[in-house]
Chain A
Amino acid sequence: EVQLLESGGNLVQPGGSLRLSCTASGFTFSHYAMNWVRQAPGKGLEWVSTISTTGGSTYYADSVKGRFTISRDNSRNTLSLSINNLRPEDTARYYCVKDGLRYCSGDCHFDYWGQGTLVTVSS
């Protein structure tokens, strides 16, 4: 059974930093690109970032480029998102999401989603 377990969400002041983690199990982690998607309270879904199977290629939404860094450790089946210079508009639940097919090159839907971790940016 595929499981994605996020952690690291917290209440942070504007300008602060956080590191989100996602531990994956139930599939061959290194065969799938991975993604972060966020959802502000009461709002829709927003794609945040994607990382290739090896970690050699990363992609970011314009709204987070330069502040967020996605990474992965295939030996530990973990996905991470480092967030700097947090803004109130970054307040959201952050979901760790698996690509729907192996070895996709930016042309895959998403299949499994974690339950998310909540990031709140407020003074």
Chain B
Amino acid sequence: DIQLTQSPSTLSASVGDTVTITCRASQSISNWLAWYQQTPGKAPKVLVYKASALESGVPSRFSGSGSGTEFNLTISSLQPEDFVTYYCQHYYSYSWTFGQGTRVEIK
């Protein structure tokens, strides 16, 4: 089974900062990767799919990159509502795996 490892587990930043979350796969997954955002008490929301495609309605300050085994989610100019938890997900060939999550907290 493919494993996904996110880093860091917790990230401290300030409003207006640019931050990057990394997701590493245990083997190559091409670009079959999505990123989700979860606010406490709410269901996750997709931000990016196929590694770099921005979901409709998601602000352009979110961007995804990478292929193979290393992927990044970059949030430019952090807004107050962005201080929540983010998950990467691999999906391909009837296999679905989530990373353990990255919490973005206010410094």
Contacts and interface: CB of A to CB of B under 8 A. Distances in A.
Interface in B22-50: 32, 34, 36, 38, 42-46, 49-50
Interface bracket on A? 20 to 34
Given A45-B87, A47-B97, A113 B92 contact: no
Most B Cβ at <10 Å: residue of A44, A59, A95, A105: A44
Contacts of A27: none
Contacts of B38: 45
B43 A116 contact: yes
B100 interface: yes
B43 A114 contact: yes
A81 to B, nearest CB: 15
B94 A44 contact: no
Given A50-B96, A59-B94, A110 B101 contact: no
A47 B98 contact: yes
A44 B98 contact: yes
Nearest to B53: A109
24 contacts: A44-B98, A44-B99, A45-B98, A45-B101, A47-B89, A47-B97, A50-B94, A59-B94, A62-B1, A95-B43, A100-B46, A105-B94, A106-B91, A106-B92, A106-B93, A106-B95, A109-B34, A109-B46, A110-B34, A110-B36, A110-B89, A113-B44, A114-B43, A116-B43
Given A45-B38, A45-B98, A107-B32, 10 more contacts: A44-B87, A44-B98, A44-B99, A50-B96, A105-B94, A109-B50, A110-B36, A110-B91, A113-B44, A116-B43
Interface of A: 35, 44-47, 50, 59, 62, 95, 100, 105-111, 113-116
Per CB-CB distance, the 8 closest pairs between chain A and chain B, nearest first, are: A106-B94, A113-B43, A109-B49, A109-B34, A47-B96, A45-B98, A44-B101, A44-B100
